[in-house]
Structure 1
Amino acid sequence: MKLFAQYSSKSKLIVALLGGASLLASCSAETEVDGEASGDVSFCTSPAPMPAGYGYPVSETEVAEWVANRDEQAAREHGWKLFAGLQSEAGDGWVWRSWCTETQAFAMTGDDPSDSNGTGKQAMLAAQSEAPMRAFKLDNGLTSGEEPINFEDAPKYAVPQPVLDKYSNSECLVNKPNQPVSLANGPTFQNNGDILIAGVIYNASAFGWIRDTKIYDASVLQGMRPASDMTKQIDPFPSEAIALKPMLWPIKGAGYTAVPVWDDLSEDYGRYSGFEIQSQWPRAVAVTTSINSDGPVTVTMLEQEGVTQTVGGVAKRLGPNVYDDAQQVSVDDFYSFTPDLGTIDQCDNALLDRSAYYAFGRMFEQGDMLALVAMHIQTKEQPDWTFQSIWWSDQPNDGPYAADRPNIPEASGPWQNYLMASTYGWPEVEGGSTWPIAYNPYIELAAAHPIKTNCLNCHQRASFPGQPDSYLQTGGPGALDVFTYEGNEIFAGLIGTDSLWSISDRAICPDGTKPPCKTE
C-alpha cells in the first residue's frame, strides 16, 4: 500500500460552535470564512437542505444501476460530492452543523424536548453515556481460516481525576454499578469514551422520522418486536434521510497538538488498535494555528499521570506517547471550529475537558479548537443506505482511498485533505459471499472494532434490544459475510432498526431507564 502525497489547503474555514443550555438550542456564533467574520448560525432550529451542485440526491434506480454494474467510480465520486456538500456554507456555518443531534432526537416526549429542565434531559443524562462497544466476538467457525476477533479485554479510558473533581457536583457524571464513572452526553456532543469528541447528526428528514414514529422510545420499539421465532424491521426511513457521525480532535489554541496518523492499510489483522498504542499509530503530525518554521517538532499526547485506562478491572497508566519528528500542519488543513466556553452546555464542556486532558494534558480552554478528523456518512438513496466514511490525512493524494476524487468547483474548505472508503452493496468479487473491507481507522480501530469488516455488514445487524451475544457471537455471520436480516434465526425475536445502530443504542424507556421497559 503506497503512502499518500501531500496536499495543502488554501481555504480557511473556522466556525465557532456555541452549545445552548436547551436540547434544541439555537446557537449564536461568529464565523470566519477566508478572513471575514460575520453573522450567526443556528443548530437544529433551521436545518439546511443539501445544496445544489453536489449531485444529491441520486435516484434509487441510478444507485441500483451502480450496484448492478459494480460501478465503484460513480459511487466514490458521489461520496466525495456528499462530503464536500455537507461542508459547504449554510448561512454562516456548514450544512451539517445546522442539523440535529442524537441527544435532541432521543429526548423523551411528555416534555418539550427543548426544555432543559424536563425529563427529556434527565432521561438522557440517566440512561446515556458512551455508546456500547459493538465488538464482533466471532469464533473461528464463523470466519473460516481467520484468527478470532475478540475485544472483550479492550480497555476503557478512565475519566481523569481533575475532570471528575471539576464536575463532581454536576449532573454530567454517570455512575453505573460495577463500572468506572463515565460522562453523560451533551446536547451537541456524544461521549465516545476516548480522545475523540463524537457527534451523531441527522438531517431534517431523519430527525423528523425518529420523532414522528417515536422510535426514540424504547417502549415503542419493545411493542414492535415479533414473536421469538420471527424477524421484523421497523418501517424504513424516508429516502431523503441522512445520518452522520463526525469525529473531532481537540487542538490547542496556541502551540502544537499531536494528532496520530494511520499509515498501516495492510488490512491483515482484526485486533484492537486504540490511539494509546503507539506501535499501531507510530506517526503523528503537530497541528498548530501558527507554523513558525519548516522543521519537525516534538509533540506528546497522554502525558499526564492521571490518564489511565481499565483493562480487566485493573487501572493502567496511559502513555506518554512522544513523537520526536512530527511534521507541522496548519489547523487550516482541517475543517475546524472554536467552541465558545462561555455559552456551551456543561455536559458538552465536560466532554471537551476530558478529551483535551487525554490529548494534551490540561482542560479545554477558550480559544482551543476542534478539528474534524473523520466522518461516517449514510444516505437513504437506496433501501440499504449508501455508506461512505471520510478521514483526514497529511498525504491524501495517493492510494486507493484517494481514488475517484472529482473536481468540484463549488466546494469550499480543505475537503481534498481527506481520504474515503465507501460501500454500496456489491460483493468483493462478482457473485461472491463476502463484502470488500471498508472501515475508518479513526472510528473503528479506536472503538474495539475489527479492521476486517464492512459498513453494510455491521449496520445490517442493528437491532433492538441492542446486540445480544446470540447474534454477535456463535452462530452469526462473519464480519465480512453477505447475509440477509429477514428470516435469519440469529435476529429472531428482535426488531431491526433499519441499519441505524443509534436507534438500538440510544432508545430509552419513558421513565428514563435503559430497556427492557417496565410494563403494566
Structure 2
Amino acid sequence: MKTQHRQVIPSLVATLLLGVATGLQAQNGAVPLPDPKIPGFHFPEAEATIMNWVFTWTTNGSTLNLPPKETLAATEKAFANVHLHGWGIWTALTTETEQVFEGQKLRVFETWPTPDDLITAGAKPDGLKAFFALPPSRSTPQSFRQFDHVKGTRGGVLKRGAGASFHGEETVTGFVKYDPSAARHITEQGLLKKATLNALMNAGANQVPAFPSTALALKPVFQTLTGLAGGRYYPLPVWTGPPSEPQAWPSEKWGNWVWIDIQNGGQGKGETDKTGSADGSSRTDATTYPLSSFIHYKLDAAQASALNEAKASVLKKSGGTVARAPATAQAGDYTVLVGMHVAGRETTRWTWQTFWWAPQADQPPLPSSPKIADLRPAQLQGAARHYAMALAYSNLAPTDPYVGGANVGESLYAYNPYLEAEFGPSILPDSIPGYDANGKVVANNVGVQTNCMSCHGAANYTNGSIITAPAYSGDRYISLDDPRFRGTLQVDFLWSLPGNAK
C-alpha cells in the first residue's frame, strides 16, 4: 500500500502589527514591541546605521580602504550587526505578555490586530480605542490571498504555481498583523479603504503616505494538528534545504518529517523521518519533538470552525484535485507556528526577516546558516529559539541604490520554506535573470530564488486596467521609480493593503 504523506499548502496572509502605549503588563490591547534588553540592539534603528551595515557586508568592505585583516573584521561585524538586529526583533515580538486567552499567555505579536480588525475598527467612531479595550483574544485563521497579485488573476486565485495536484490533506493558514504604530497609520490614513486608494491614485499620487519608522508588518502561518497517529503524534514536513537544481519545491518533495507529540514526549535533537507514514509506523523517539518546542496554542470552538471554513475556501479556490478530504479541526486541537515573515519600516525599503521552525535550529540549512544561528542572543529562549532565520536587507550584493540601479551583482535569496518554496514560474511572472556568486546567469524564477524585498518592492494598487503593473518576481532589482509603476499607486511595500482593502 502506498504511504500517505502530509502536505503543507502555504497560506499567505500579511498580519499588520499594531502598537499602542501599553506595556507587557497590559490587561487588554495591542502591546508595542518591547525592549528585549539585547546589548547592541535598538528598535527602530537609524536608517543610515542599517544601510551602513548592509553596504559594508554586501561589498565585503571593499570601499573601506583598510588592510585585509581589518577589512575582514569590519565585514564580519557588519554581518553580525544585521543578523543580530533580525534576531532582536524576533526575540521581542515572541515575548510572552501577561494577557491570557483560554488559559495560555499571549505573545506580543498575538495581541496585534489584523486587517479585518482595522477595517471593523475604522467603521466606528472610537474604533481603535474600542478595539484595544476588548478582552484578550486570538485572531481567526484565514485562507491565503497572495495569488491575487499574479498577473491575469486579479479578482481570482490561480492554481498552485508548482502545477502539482492539490491534495487538500492539510492547509497552513494565518493572518496579517500590524503593530500599533502601523495600525494607527493605516486607520488614520484610511489605507484599507478602496475609496481612499482610488482617490489618491486618481489625484495623481504615486505613493500612499509613508509608514513611520516604528511600523512592523507580520505574516505568521500555522499548521493545525489534526488526524493524530495514536491520538497524540502529528507528522510535520520539515525543510532540510533547497533542491540541487532550482525548481518549485513544495513540501511533498522535501522527504523529511518530524513527529510532534502533543503530550510533550520525544527526544528529537535534529533527526528527521524519511518516510512520514501517516499511521505513525515510521516514527521513532529520535524523530519525535515535544509540542513545547513550537510556538503553539489550542483552538477554541470558534477558531476551529473558522479554520474549517478557511480550508474549504482554499479547496474551492484552488480548482485542483483533492486526494482526500482535510481532517476537520475541533475545539481542543493544537495549532503550531511553522513560519513568519516580519517587515520593519526602519529603512525606505523596509527590513525583511523570515523565520521557520527547524529541527536543527543550531545548524539550519539554506537560506539560513549555522553562522546566522550562532548570532542568536541569549535572551532568545524557549520555543522561539527553535526557529531559523533568513533576512533580506538588500536585493543584491553589492547592495543596490533605491533608484537608478541595475540588476547586476550577486543574487541574495531570502524566502520561507512554508510560504514561497513551492512557487513556480507562473507565480513569479515578473522575474528576470540574475547572477550567482560566481557570475553565472541564473533564472531567478522559482520560490527558492526569491527575495522578500523584490516581491514587496513591486507592491501596488491598481484598478486592474494597468496590465504592465508590477507583480511577483524572483530576486531582482526594482527601482522605486520603475516606469512600470505609472498609473498605479505604490503602497509602501505592503501587498496586504490592496489585498484586504474594501
The 3 A distance-change label for structure 1 pair 406 and 362 is same
Ranked by relative contact order (alpha carbons within 8 Å, sequence separation 6 or more), the top structure is 1
State the distance in 1 between where 2:213 and 2:151 align.
Answer: 33
State the distance in 1 between where 2:325 and 2:392 align.
Answer: 35
Structure 2 length-normalised TM: 0.66
State the distance in 1 between where 2:324 and 2:385 align.
Answer: 25
Does structure 2 retain, via aligned residues, the 8 Å contact 1:231–1:489? no
Alignment of 1:53-452 (within 5 A): 53-54=37-38, 55-57=41-43, 58-70=45-57, 71-91=78-98, 92-107=105-120, 109-111=122-124, 130-133=144-147, 154=163, 157=166, 195-225=171-201, 232-252=206-226, 254-266=231-243, 268-271=245-248, 273-275=249-251, 278=252, 280-290=253-263, 299-300=276-277, 324=282, 327-341=287-301, 344=303, 346-348=305-307, 350-351=309-310, 362-398=327-363, 399=365, 400-404=368-372, 405-406=374-375, 408-425=377-394, 427-429=396-398, 432-433=408-409, 435-446=411-422, 450-452=447-449
Does structure 1 retain, via aligned residues, the 8 Å contact 2:143–2:174? no
CA offset at residue 329 of structure 1?
1.3
CA offset at residue 334 of structure 1?
0.8
Amino acid corresponding to residue 491 of structure 1 in structure 2: F
State the distance in 2 between where 1:433 and 1:258 align.
Answer: 40
More helix by share: 2
Amino acid corresponding to residue 484 of structure 1 in structure 2: S
State the distance in 2 between where 1:433 and 1:226 align.
Answer: 37
Does structure 2 retain, via aligned residues, the 8 Å contact 1:374–1:442? yes
SS of the aligned residue for 1:451 comes to helix
Amino acid corresponding to residue 394 of structure 1 in structure 2: P
Alignment of 1:453-472 (within 5 A): 453-465=450-462, 469-472=467-470
State the distance in 2 between where 1:65 and 1:362 align.
Answer: 50
The 3 A distance-change label for structure 1 pair 262 and 159 is closer
Tell me which residue corresponds to 2:440: none
Amino acid corresponding to residue 350 of structure 1 in structure 2: E
Amino acid corresponding to residue 397 of structure 2 in structure 1: E
Does structure 2 retain, via aligned residues, the 8 Å contact 1:256–1:299? no
SS of the aligned residue for 1:247 comes to strand
The 3 A distance-change label for structure 1 pair 500 and 292 is closer
The 3 A distance-change label for structure 1 pair 424 and 289 is same
Deviation string for 1:158-197 (max 9, x for gaps)? Answer: 889xxxxxxxxxxxxxxxxxxxxxxxxxxxxxxxxx6102
SS of the aligned residue for 2:449 comes to coil
CA offset at residue 262 of structure 1?
1.6
Percent of paired sites with the same residue:
21
SS of the aligned residue for 1:81 comes to helix
Amino acid corresponding to residue 465 of structure 1 in structure 2: T
SS of the aligned residue for 2:52 comes to helix
CA offset at residue 247 of structure 1?
0.8
Q: Which runs of 5+ in 2 are unaligned?
A: 1-17, 19-24, 58-77, 99-104, 132-139, 153-158, 316-321, 401-407, 428-446
Deviation string for 1:197-227 (max 9, x for gaps)? Answer: 2121111001111100001101110111168
Does structure 1 retain, via aligned residues, the 8 Å contact 2:397–2:412? yes
The 3 A distance-change label for structure 1 pair 472 and 239 is closer
The 3 A distance-change label for structure 1 pair 135 and 465 is closer
Deviation string for 1:357-399 (max 9, x for gaps)? Answer: 9999532123211111101010111121100100111112224
Does structure 2 retain, via aligned residues, the 8 Å contact 1:234–1:497? yes
The 3 A distance-change label for structure 1 pair 355 and 100 is same
RMSD value, Cα: 3.9
State the distance in 2 between where 1:323 and 1:207 align.
Answer: 47
State the distance in 1 between where 2:463 and 2:277 align.
Answer: 37
Tell me which residue corresponds to 2:474: 479
SS of the aligned residue for 1:205 comes to helix
SS of the aligned residue for 1:259 comes to strand
Q: Which runs of 5+ in 1 are unaligned?
A: 1-23, 25-38, 117-124, 139-149, 161-193, 304-321, 509-520
State the distance in 2 between where 1:264 and 1:56 align.
Answer: 31
State the distance in 1 between where 2:359 and 2:233 align.
Answer: 16
The 3 A distance-change label for structure 1 pair 300 and 412 is same
State the distance in 1 between where 2:390 and 2:308 align.
Answer: 31
Structure 1 length-normalised TM: 0.64
CA offset at residue 132 of structure 1?
3.7
Does structure 1 retain, via aligned residues, the 8 Å contact 2:264–2:289? yes
State the distance in 2 between where 1:84 and 1:368 align.
Answer: 26
State the distance in 2 between where 1:288 and 1:355 align.
Answer: 27
State the distance in 1 between where 2:308 and 2:162 align.
Answer: 29
The 3 A distance-change label for structure 1 pair 63 and 489 is same
State the distance in 2 between where 1:354 and 1:134 align.
Answer: 14
State the distance in 1 between where 2:305 and 2:467 align.
Answer: 35
Amino acid corresponding to residue 376 of structure 1 in structure 2: H
